[in-house]
Copies of this chain bind each other. A is one copy, B any other.
């Protein structure tokens, strides 16, 4: 008699659906397919020329230590180096204030594990990052949606949500948001910081894209405006290499830091020591300062190509975000357009994107929306893809 797996599963598995995006990504290996669906950095943006030297330096500096078990808190040389790196984002954090996570995802899982009991309220933007929903869902939250517009989350909506619900924490991606490509203005950042202080509320500020700014002026992180109220997270995935699975977290205080360490210890003991050591020498050697302009130079023309092609080819009743950085543009059409039908017709013509509803805690609120990634195709290919999508949209 074989074990009956469904009868053994915990109730929380009901909220652990297979990712629709993973299923979409599986279709993309089809020859000739142009994918605007992914969310991954271009491999040409990796510092391949540096990697042999970085590894040699890791072996030279740390030898066996880079391959040994290490602290759950993270590899000390990386946390020391990160202390300087984080100042870019206005985040003041000493060695003891920096924790290493297994990518941003590792932080989101730890946050879910620590705070969310079944039915607990979590405030999220609408739309929000799919990976956050996937991290939080197993802990069975009740999502409360913060309204957004072209400038991102609306502070008055956040305030109303925090007033009406016993929210455990608010989750925001304030800069070049995934999926919507929107960025909170300085004014809104200050308003959010004020609300957090007034309400004694906790914010999880997920900040993977801030360094990918192609134009415009850098904005301060919300963490820098309300350090005692923000758990700040960022990652090396977009500025070094995602396959290393190394992220950084700065909690609002040591108490939460200790809890994050306990959660992580049960989950994976610690993140890859080698990956952390590589990130440490990447920062220490000043390589990020050289590589980042290269990454920006690689992506900026792609963003321009996509925005230009949308102007040229999308129907007049469509609008889209105009980000100054990041990896995504968000397009919104008139009510009544059947985006799933558009998606299928696009696939037939070898262009893929992700329908917007996958990024909503309440998919019914999605309307006619799509997420368009611009980092993984050259400008000419992006233009062709948007032209094809424009043709498809005119057929509806």
Using CB atoms and an 8 Å cutoff, list the residues of chain A in contact with chain B: 1-6, 8-13, 16-19, 22, 40-41, 43-44, 46, 48, 51-52, 55-56, 59, 63-70, 72, 102-103, 105-106, 109, 113-117, 120, 131, 134-135, 137-139, 168-169, 196-202, 228-229, 237, 241-245, 252-253, 255-256, 258-259, 262-263, 265-275, 278
How many copies are assembled? 2
A46 to B66 CA separation, bound complex (whole angstroms): 11
Given contacts A13-B259, A67-B242, A263-B16, contact A268 B102 (CB under 8 A): yes
Q: What residue of chain B has the Cβ atom nearest to residue A240's Cβ?
A: B67
Contact between B117 and A10, CB atoms less than 8 A apart? yes
Given contacts A5-B256, A63-B48, A199-B1, contact A266 B16 (CB under 8 A): yes
Q: What residue of chain B has the Cβ atom nearest to residue A16's Cβ?
A: B262
Please name all residues of chain B whose beta carbon is closer than 8 Å to the beta carbon of A17 when the two chains form the complex.
262
Please name all residues of chain B whose beta carbon is closer than 8 Å to the beta carbon of A69 when the two chains form the complex.
40, 237, 242-243
Q: Return the contact of A2 from the options B18, B135, B229, B245 (Cβ within 8 A).
A: B229
Contact between B229 and A3, CB atoms less than 8 A apart? yes
Please name all residues of chain B whose beta carbon is closer than 8 Å to the beta carbon of A272 when the two chains form the complex.
243-245, 271-272, 274-275
Instruction: Give min CB distance, A336 to chain B, whole Å.
Output: 33
Contact between A266 and B3, CB atoms less than 8 A apart? no
Please name all residues of chain B whose beta carbon is closer than 8 Å to the beta carbon of A242 when the two chains form the complex.
67-69
Q: Return the contact of A10 from the options B13, B41, B114 (Cβ within 8 A).
A: B114
Name A's interface SS. Answer: helix
Please name all residues of chain B whose beta carbon is closer than 8 Å to the beta carbon of A48 when the two chains form the complex.
59, 63-64
Q: Return the contact of A1 from the options B135, B137, B197 (Cβ within 8 A).
A: B197
Apart from the given pairs A17-B262, A275-B275, 4 other A-B contacts in the complex at a CB distance below 8 Å: A3-B202, A9-B114, A41-B68, A245-B269
Contact between A103 and B269, CB atoms less than 8 A apart? yes
Contact between A138 and B113, CB atoms less than 8 A apart? yes
Contact between A134 and B266, CB atoms less than 8 A apart? yes
Contact between B51 and A59, CB atoms less than 8 A apart? yes
Q: Return the contact of A255 from the options B5, B52, B131 (Cβ within 8 A).
A: B5
Instruction: Give min CB distance, A203 to chain B, whole Å.
Output: 9
Q: What residue of chain B has the Cβ atom nearest to residue A134's Cβ?
A: B266
Q: What residue of chain B has the Cβ atom nearest to residue A64's Cβ?
A: B43
Given contacts A43-B64, A228-B2, A274-B244, contact A13 B109 (CB under 8 A): no
A258 to B5 CA separation, bound complex (whole angstroms): 11
19 contacts between A and B (CB under 8 A): A2-B228, A3-B196, A3-B200, A3-B252, A10-B115, A10-B116, A13-B114, A16-B262, A22-B265, A46-B64, A55-B55, A102-B102, A105-B267, A135-B266, A135-B267, A241-B274, A244-B272, A244-B273, A245-B271
Please name all residues of chain B whose beta carbon is closer than 8 Å to the beta carbon of A114 when the two chains form the complex.
9-10, 13
Q: Return the contact of A273 from the options B63, B243, B255, B266 (Cβ within 8 A).
A: B243
Q: What residue of chain B has the Cβ atom nearest to residue A242's Cβ?
A: B69
Closest 8 pairs between A and B when the two form their complex, measured CB to CB: A243-B273, A43-B64, A1-B200, A67-B241, A10-B117, A3-B202, A272-B272, A67-B243
Contact between B243 and A66, CB atoms less than 8 A apart? yes
Instruction: Give min CB distance, A250 to chain B, whole Å.
Output: 15
A323 to B229 CA separation, bound complex (whole angstroms): 52
Contact between A270 and B245, CB atoms less than 8 A apart? yes
A2 to B43 CA separation, bound complex (whole angstroms): 42
Please name all residues of chain B whose beta carbon is closer than 8 Å to the beta carbon of A19 when the two chains form the complex.
262, 265
Instruction: Give min CB distance, A219 to chain B, whole Å.
Output: 23
